[in-house]
Structure 1
């Protein structure tokens, strides 16, 4: 289980609620990442308010994050447990403490980079 910010209905920031969510097991070509920072931008605000109706509710928002690899699925190459990674995707769900996702979407982050800076770098 992971702790996630869940939206159950559109509205102001007060509709964001922490809840426990199932993460699932890593499959072939997937990694489990422990998020350390997530990107928060206007797209997320538009989703929360209902201006963009692209997140099925209830749902976990967020499209970019940085974290640490905590588990590798079968066949994952180029990443190791403990690597710092960043990603941006088209599948919501980064507002969570952990996530399982295809390893091909991740890039390694250099150790001196701050988590917050790396989480926002895909937008630059």
Structure 2
């Protein structure tokens, strides 16, 4: 697999749309996937909104359960890498991150930024 680092400065708002779920390694036995250090690998569904109305939905794998990530929360993704894969006639990209954390809440608009006439 070829790894491709993702330039996070080019991505817009990211929102969790599917809460973290342990990634299954073997569907028959229910065994969960572990990383090299023995941590459970989780998958998080994230909507990435770029310029305007354009949005993409990606699943991102991360080691260890992301704390504070629930559906609808804005997220901050650290160390995002894409991997190209091919299996027979199928091919695509998968995504892995070093961490997924809740994004800081945006600062409230100051009173001085209101339009004139607003009370």
Name the TM-score, length of structure 1 as normaliser: 0.28
Higher relative contact order (CA 8 A, sep 6+): 1
TM-score by length of 2: 0.29
Which protein shows a greater Rg? Answer: 2
Higher strand share: 2
